[in-house]
């Protein structure tokens, strides 16, 4: 992955999403994390009982999340991508 944090932040729909995404750059927020050559995935525990399932296609920078947000990408997608960029050792290859 050849992205840096500034490039990820530039994908955000607004400043609030950046702030919320940065709050998720903590491995403890992600009980499940993984990556392959072209895909990141994880589960992020929200306020509900079931964690949100989040994935990022690294080839086309396409985001998918099961959260109800209407923002694209949502804070979970931004958080996952920022985590992979800023703390790559937290996301294991699978």
Tens digits of residue pLDDT in 7-58: 999 999 999 999 999 999 999 999 999 999 999 999 998 877 899 999 999 9
**pTM of structure:** 0.94
Gap between the Cα atoms of 45 and 84, Å rounded: 17
Gap between the Cα atoms of 50 and 60, Å rounded: 28
**Looking at the predicted structure, is the pLDDT value of residue 94 above 80?**
no
Q: Where are the domains of the chain?
A: 5-90
For the chain, state the CA radius of gyration.
12
Tens digits of residue pLDDT in 47-84: 778 999 999 999 999 999 999 999 999 999 999 999 99
Instruction: Looking at 1-94, list the stretches that DSSP marks H as alpha helix, in order from N- to C-terminal side.
Output: 5-10, 15-22, 75-86
């Amino acid at each position: 992955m050849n992205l840096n944090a500034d490039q990820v932040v530039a994908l955000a729909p607004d400043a609030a999403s950046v702030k919320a995404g940065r709050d998720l750059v903590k491995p403890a927020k992600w009980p499940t994390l993984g990556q392959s050559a072209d895909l990141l995935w994880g589960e992020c525990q929200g306020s509900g009982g079931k964690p949100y399932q989040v994935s990022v296609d690294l080839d086309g920078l396409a985001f998918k999340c099961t959260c109800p947000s209407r923002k694209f990408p949502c804070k979970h997608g931004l958080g996952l991508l920022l985590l992979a960029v800023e703390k790559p050792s937290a996301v294991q290859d699978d």
